[in-house]
Amino acid sequence: MALAQRIDASEPRDDDDAPHVLIVDDDQRIRSLLERFLRKEGYRISSAENANQARRKLEGFVFDALVLDVMMPGEDGFSLLETLRADGNATMPILMLTARTEPDQRIHGLELGADDYLGKPFEPRELALRLSNLMRRRPETHRFVRFGRFVFDVRREELSADGDLVRLTDRERRLMRLFASRPGATIPRHELVADEDLGDRAIDVQINRLRRKLEDDPAEPKYLQTMRGLGYRLLADPGET
């Protein structure tokens, strides 16, 4: 059955708690059809038509999976895949889509870090099942990270204190996202510097600004702690998910 015939015309769902998937494909028809189908399957969907758009969206949101076309004008999917894996997106499941299904193409994508491969044309239901299987195999992550009176919602990238939203800058949000990805673990200084593309002194300034929003006494931090000679850690409450 053709792809267009398989798409239900009912209104797509948009649930903030649903897994968030980014579709990257230069074919607007495929993006639109997949968006409607996967929303009906219970996913939240964002889309991009090229690698540059995809990078901007990846900077602003945490995605649970990526559906990535190989053949795109400009930077292709293989190049984007390679840089994403090199930049630390090691656990996000990535499903490659391509009209070229030669063994050497599939092997190249898998060598670069793709988790699965699906040739075009494809059945939307098969793509949805493959996504579901990939996310089931994904390491367990925290949805909420709690520390004192604060809660950080990892998916929505929102910080609240006693139920009230705390305003964060884009850079503070990225720092919180990184700390919340490994609550209680020390994030090495060199990783923070690389992630924020800042120097050592600038990272210290950003940490101090964030502490003023998190700590009763920023000079004696309880939550965002300095691990001397190593880096920083977010001391979260035990057992939170």
CATH of the domain at 35: 3.40.50.2300
Kindly state whether residue 241 falls inside one of the protein's structural domains: no
15 and 90, same domain (yes or no): yes
Asked which of 80, 105, 136 is the last residue of a domain, the reply is: 136
pLDDT greater than 50 at residue 1: no
216 and 132, same domain (yes or no): no
Judge residue 159's burial from the number of C-beta atoms within 10 Å of its C-beta, 0-12 exposed, 13-18 middle, 19 or more buried.
buried
pLDDT of residue 89: 65
Kindly state whether residue 35 falls inside one of the protein's structural domains: yes
CATH of the domain at 196: 1.10.10.10
Comparison of pLDDT for 17 and 151, the residue scoring more:
151
End-to-end CA distance of the chain: 41
Assigned token pair, 174: 């990225």
132 and 18, same domain (yes or no): yes
153 and 96, same domain (yes or no): no
Kindly state whether residue 227 falls inside one of the protein's structural domains: yes
Residue with tokens 């076309």: 69
E-strand ranges in 43-93 read: 44-48, 65-69
Kindly state whether residue 9 falls inside one of the protein's structural domains: yes
103 and 79, same domain (yes or no): yes
Neighbours of 120 (CB within 10 A): 16
Residue with tokens 């009912």: 10
128 and 168, same domain (yes or no): no
Residue 126, domain extent: 3-136
Split into its structural domains, the chain has a count of: 2
The per-residue pLDDT for range 5-53, each reduced to its tens digit, is 343 333 334 455 678 899 999 999 999 999 999 999 989 899 999 999 9
92 and 22, same domain (yes or no): yes
On whether the pTM is more than 0.95, the answer is no
